[in-house]
Amino acid sequence: DFWSQNDQNRKQDGTTVWKNVDYLVCAAQQRGMFVVMDVSAFQKFLLSRRYDSFDARNWTTFLEAVGEHYKDQNAIAMYSIVGEPPPPKSVEAMNKLVDFYRAVTDTLHQADEGHHLINAGGFIHMEDESKELPWWHKIYALPNNDIVGFKTYSLDDLHLMPTIASYAKEINKPLLDEEFGLPQRMGDAQFAGGEGYNKLYTSRAQF
């Protein structure tokens, strides 16, 4: 969380931010660990400036700088650009969204020179897709999106996992459940009872 969409004082090239990220990556390498280089916080920076965060032109300079800087860093397992796009409601909106992800994945791939895998982002509300608007199918199939990334926070998400897995197998790309979880109030080893969460009634460990 480098930036806040309510803070206009932070700079995208702030020295402290990038020293911290570099330290983290190097510390992981020294310990034989890998990191996911999730750059989605840049969306908050764009929103703080009132820019359209799903306009690829606003991401170009940032992604070029990140890809160039980290292309030879072998502690990075993959990049993740930005997830949770609003599901499109029209063919025009779908095409705009797919074009955005095509542009940002292509830009990062070129800057990184193909050294690392790229995940467009972890998606949610994927059950809102229709045959007329197959938005996540199209994004997953993009040539420089290497990972089928999704998030799991609801019963609908769980029910959709076989469909996602089947499509990932079809296009020969690995799956990544990028985020998952339940609120603490659900209980840990045993369901605490009471109100469910997104149609789920189980403990966090069972989930």
Q: What is the pLDDT of residues 109-133, one digit of tens each?
A: 999 999 999 999 999 999 999 999 9
Q: How far is CA 57 from CA 60, 153, 162, in A?
A: 5, 31, 35
Q: How confident is the model at residue 1 (pLDDT cuts 50, 70, 90)?
A: low
9 pLDDT above the threshold of 90: no
Secondary element (H or E) of residue 77: strand 76-80
Instruction: Say whether pLDDT at 14 is over 90.
Output: no
Quick check: 180 pLDDT over 90?
yes
What integer pLDDT is reported at residue 5 of this predicted model? 81
pLDDT score of 12: 78
Q: Across all residues in the chain, what is the average pLDDT?
A: 95
Tell whether the model's pLDDT for residue 167 goes beyond 90: yes
Collapsing DSSP states into helix, strand and coil, what is residue 9?
Answer: coil
pLDDT interval class at 4 (50, 70, 90) = confident
pLDDT at 153 over 70: yes
Say which residues have a Cβ less than 8 Å from residue 113's Cβ, sequence separation at least 6.
Answer: 67, 71
Containing 112, the helix (H) or strand (E) segment is: helix 91-112
- Asked if the model's pLDDT at residue 146 lies above 80, the reply is yes
Give 36-57 pLDDT, tens digit per residue. 999 999 999 999 999 999 999 9
Enter the tokens of residue 84: 């949770």
pLDDT at 207 over 80: yes
**What pTM did the predictor assign?**
0.94
Query: Taking 90 as the threshold, does the pLDDT of residue 8 lie above it?
Result: no
Token pair of 18 as six digits: 């990038």
Half-sphere exposure in the Cβ direction for 39 (13 Å, CA): 24
